[in-house]
Structure 1
Amino acid sequence: MRRFLIALSASLSLFAAPKDLSSFNAKFVQTITDDNGKTIRYSGELWAAKPQNALWVYHKPIRKSVYVNAQKVTVIEPAIEQVTLRTLDNEIDFLAIVQKAQPLGEGRYAATLKGQKYTVTFKNDVLASISYIDGFDNNVVILFNDQKQNKPIEPSRFKPLVPADYDILKG
């Protein structure tokens, strides 16, 4: 009986992992590979918190910050002194993907959000990666490291600071 309870507890924690994620912070490497095998690699850091806040700070190969707050997305690009404002339609709602993920087995989960299919991977109950095929048939893989799950994140982190002299585009 004891073994059964331990096994049940372990399997429940495996299946509960995505649902229990209320905040997340990690460094990431995002690799995008087109159908010709050409690859571009981005790196940076991500902060995300419920209900629908995320900040993707890209460091390489270009610097930019992508703020997601509810249905608004603000992209700040210092290299071209530009800010783009748009709705969430085409952006990744990070925590919604993780929360909708259904178990496939061995730490792998599948999620579909707005018609887009994602594969979510956990290692030792820690989010390790998200992968998907984008609207241009590119293979996108986002690998996380130095992860911190369910730790408090200051809400002010998700408020974009738009420099007054930047061009603002609405899209």
Structure 2
Amino acid sequence: MRFFLFSTLIAASLFAAPININSFNSRFEQSIVDDNGKTIRYSGELWAAKPQSALWVYQKPIQKSVYVNAQKVTVIEPQIEQVTLRTLDNEIDFLQIIQKAKRLDDERYAAVVKGQTYNIVFKNDLLNSISYTDGYDNRVSIKFLNPSQNKPIESSRFKPTIPADFDVIKD
């Protein structure tokens, strides 16, 4: 009986631990390489929480905050004093990608969400990176630095504050 309980706990940790993420926070470095080999690099910080909330704060090379709440996306760009509001029918939830991932080996997983394949790497049960090829054949890679998983994130973090003097564009 003890062996069964022990093996069940081990199996659960092997197959569920990395996938069972309810919240996530990390600094990130993102690179996008086009089909000509030109690379654009971004850096910033990400917060994500179930059911469908995310905040991507880009700090370099430009400042921009992208709030995702279910199918509503708010992009705030301070340098051009502009806010873009979008409603997306096909928004992909960051944590949904992780949830759908299937184990390939000890560290690598793959997820197919809405026809898009995502390659996911965990190190010590912490999300380390996600890479994929987007609809324009750009190779996108996001590396997470010092990630934190399943720690409380205030829901107010995901509520954008739109400055009154910014132009608002509705897509």
- TM-score relative to the length of structure 2: 0.92
Partner of 1:170: 170
Shift of 1:57: 0.1
Partner of 2:86: 86
In 2, distance between residues paired with 1:90 and 1:71?
8
Q: Structure 2 vs 1, CA of residues 8 and 20 (structure 1 numbering), >3 Å: closer, same or farther? A: same
Aligned partner of 1:158: which letter?
Answer: F
Partner of 2:155: 155
Query: Contact 1:28/1:46 (CA < 8 Å) preserved in 2?
Result: yes
Aligned partner of 2:108: which letter?
Answer: R
Query: Contact 2:85/2:170 (CA < 8 Å) preserved in 1?
Result: yes
Comparing both structures, which one devotes a greater share of its residues to helix?
Answer: 1
**What residue ranges of structure 1 are gaps of 5+ in the alignment?**
none
In 2, distance between residues paired with 1:88 and 1:26?
25
Aligned partner of 1:103: which letter?
Answer: R
Partner of 1:76: 76
In 2, distance between residues paired with 1:112 and 1:131?
12
Shift of 1:91: 5.0
Partner of 1:13: 13
**What residue ranges of structure 2 are gaps of 5+ in the alignment?**
none
Q: Secondary structure at the match of 1:13?
A: helix
Partner of 2:115: 115
The percentage of aligned residue pairs carrying the same residue is 70
Shift of 1:112: 1.2
Deviations 1:63-116 (A, max 9, x none): 000000111000000111111111234654211111111111121111111211
Query: Contact 1:63/1:77 (CA < 8 Å) preserved in 2?
Result: yes
